[in-house]
Amino acid sequence: MSSESIPANEYPDRVGFKPDNPYLATFRPYIPAGVRLRELTIIPLIMGTILGIVFGASSLYLVLKVGLTVSASIPVAVISITLFRVLSKLGLRDATILENNIVQTAGSAGESIAFGIGVTMPAILILGFDLELSRVMLVAVLGGLLGILMMIPLRRALIVAQHGYLKYPEGTACAEVLKAGASEESRHAAMEGSRESATAFVDEAATGGKTIISGFGIGFLYYGIEQIFKTWKEYPGKIFGKPFEGGSVSIENNPALLGVGYIIGPRIASIMVAGGVLAYVVLIPAIKYFGGGINGIYDKIPGTNNTVAKFTAPKATLMSYIIKGILSRELPWGLVLLGVMITIVLELSGVPSLAFAVGVYLPISTSAPIFVGGAVRWLVDKYLRKKPENLNLTEEQMAAETDKSPGVLLASGYIAGATLAGVIFAFLNLREGIVTQLKVFEEWATHHNPFFEGPNSDALGMIPFLILTILLYLVGRELVLKPTAVARREE
């Protein structure tokens, strides 16, 4: 946003208002309040709805698998800019920056509602209640309306009054993406009332679109081929023997998890994997050593026929356990209080307890690729901070810059592509004939593919994941798909 000083009574939200916030006294919106520009039109609404469905499906798959998801705002904004730019070259009208904002708002809203459904509704199913389609739709609609109604009074309190104090780094990054890809019409509208006659910028729309679409294609093909043809091992790992019996480490060969780690950053990714290390490399070996414990990570519990399986829908499963325990009055309060004390220790140590807890109850195979993505982000950010144009940026400004970098866009593509492939693969498993053919592929890979099964399959299975990681690093460093600087002059 421009920092050009304007009179306080021109503040667009309230005529004659003189704000106490010093940031508001100098605030000038990118599109001046008096300029009329297309915004709420049919095509952006349709496009936003479609992208909301796509990213909603991928987010629902992701939240059921790992218990978290990432915002779709930036990737949807980039896709919107790219699609409208392509349509304009075919003779249709390019979208204004406000229309692109409508698309990203609708698209990210679909992703947000999918997250709410993925966290709550499976818990009801696990508790034994039926999930009719109409009931799920009603919960989704009412949840969305509740969010909208709550934002009406909160907008002024959290967005207007706190402008400049609350940084909203992801929203800032999304705004920068929209401005970088603004159409000629939008830039002329933005220049009205401004003394500036020329702007030099990086036209990131075309390159950003290529980056995210490339990531989408790579993620979709990588995970789809892996799941259908069993081209390489999905869970390379190592189970330790004596004297460290019971311990294990593994990593899931999944582009979506690598992308999640890159987006959430090195700190949260490291804390998550620390929780997994505590569970799989400390607690389970300790249980095995002191009490006989569990015979292996996914083996049978002694004296029963029950197995310790991978968590599915982790947050919903956790909620169902808590609800069942409370209603039956059989909740193990000793373990709950133990968790509370551990949380207090973590918070006093400055460690976010929620991320650590997520890492504890997720398989380490899930948190390990997230950690790898976070490590790649740390290396890329370290390089970007040394660039001359970034030396004078504050921490908040640097966060906004890195949140819209090519690496984040490629990671978003990884997530969207791989999770969509996972959704399609899940639907394929509903047809018996297709399941039979998939078993044929798996049987062939078991006997003939050293990347999938064999003495060296764990090491060989890591090679494709390593290539995927190196590509993410190169794109983040802008060595591949580097944006091209374009200077434009407004007449």
238-249: per-residue pLDDT in tens?
Answer: 999 888 888 999
Tell if the pTM clears 0.75, that is, is over it.
Answer: no
Residue 376 has what pLDDT? 97
Strand partners, 248: 239
Residue 131 has what pLDDT? 77
Count how many domains the chain has.
Answer: 2
Residues 301 and 447 in one domain: yes
399-442: per-residue pLDDT in tens?
Answer: 777 877 889 889 888 987 887 788 778 778 768 888 899 999 99
Question: Is residue 196 pLDDT above 60, yes or no?
Answer: no
Q: Look at residue 203 and tell me if it is in a domain.
A: no
Residue 77 has what pLDDT? 85
Residues 218 and 187 in one domain: no
Phi-psi region of 250 (alpha: psi -120 to 50; beta: other; left: phi over 0): beta
3-state secondary structure the chain: CECCCCCHHHCCCCCCCCCCCHHHHCCECCCCCCCCCCCCCHHHHHHHHHHHHHHHHHHHHHHHHHCCCCCCHHHHHHHHHHHHHHHHHCCCCCCCHHHHHHHHHHHHHHHHHHHHHHHHHHHHHHCCCCCCHHHHHHHHHHHHHHHHHHHHHHHHHHHHCCECCECCHHHHHHHHHHHHCCCHHHHHHHHCCCCCCEEEEECHHHHHHHHHHHHHHHHHHHHHHHHHHCCCCCCCEEECCCCCCCCEEECCCCHHHHHHHHHHCHHHHHHHHHHHHHHHHHHHHHHHHHHCCCCCCCCECCCCCCECCCCCCHHHHHHHHHHHHHHHCCCCHHHHHHHHHHHHHHHHCCCCHHHHHHHHHCCHHHHHHHHHHHHHHHHHHHHHHCCHHHCCCCHHHHHHHHHCCHHHHHHHHHHHHHHHHHHHHHHHCCCHHHHHHHHHHHHHHHHHCCCCCCCCHHHHHHHHHHHHHHHHHHHHCCCCCCCCEEEEECC
Residue pointed to by tokens 């197995």: 307
Q: Look at residue 328 and tell me if it is in a domain.
A: no
- Say which range, 45-59, 192-206, 220-234, has the weakest mean pLDDT: 192-206
Last residue of a domain, one of 127, 162, 196: 196
Q: Look at residue 482 and tell me if it is in a domain.
A: no
CA terminus-to-terminus distance, the chain: 21
Question: Which range of residues forms the domain containing residue 391?
Answer: 214-311+362-476
Residues 166 and 231 in one domain: no
Question: Is residue 202 pLDDT above 70, yes or no?
Answer: no
Residues 183 and 228 in one domain: no
271-287: per-residue pLDDT in tens?
Answer: 999 999 999 999 888 88
Question: Is residue 98 pLDDT above 90, yes or no?
Answer: yes
Residue 258 has what pLDDT? 94
Q: Look at residue 357 and tell me if it is in a domain.
A: no
Residues 441 and 306 in one domain: yes
Residue 390 has what pLDDT? 81
Mean pLDDT within 142-170: 80
Q: Which of 365, 404, 117, 115 is nearest to 257 (CA)?
A: 365
Question: Is residue 314 pLDDT above 70, yes or no?
Answer: no
CA distance 235 to 420: 20
Q: Look at residue 354 and tell me if it is in a domain.
A: no
Q: Look at residue 350 and tell me if it is in a domain.
A: no
Residues 176 and 221 in one domain: no
Most confident of 91-95, 172-176, 370-374, 394-398: 370-374
Q: How confident is the model at residue 207 (pLDDT cuts 50, 70, 90)?
A: low
Question: Is residue 311 pLDDT above 50, yes or no?
Answer: no
Last residue of a domain, one of 196, 229, 250: 196
Residue 482 has what pLDDT? 72
337-393: per-residue pLDDT in tens?
Answer: 988 999 999 999 999 898 898 899 888 999 999 999 999 999 999 998 888 888 888
Mean pLDDT within 298-321: 51
444-485: per-residue pLDDT in tens?
Answer: 999 999 999 999 999 999 999 999 999 999 999 989 877 654
Residue 172 has what pLDDT? 67
398-407: per-residue pLDDT in tens?
Answer: 877 787 788 9
Residue 57 has what pLDDT? 83
Query: On the CB side of 96, how many CA atoms lie within 13 Å of its CA?
Result: 18
Last residue of a domain, one of 164, 196, 228: 196
Residues 82 and 222 in one domain: no
Q: Look at residue 356 and tell me if it is in a domain.
A: no
Residues 177 and 263 in one domain: no
Task: Considering only residues 234 and 325, tell me which one the structure prediction assigns the higher pLDDT.
Answer: 234
Mean pLDDT within 156-185: 76
Question: Is residue 198 pLDDT above 60, yes or no?
Answer: no
Q: Look at residue 154 and tell me if it is in a domain.
A: yes
Residues 151 and 245 in one domain: no
8-34: per-residue pLDDT in tens?
Answer: 444 455 555 566 777 676 677 888 878
Residue pointed to by tokens 């490291």: 270
Residues 252 and 301 in one domain: yes
Residues 180 and 220 in one domain: no
Residues 191 and 226 in one domain: no
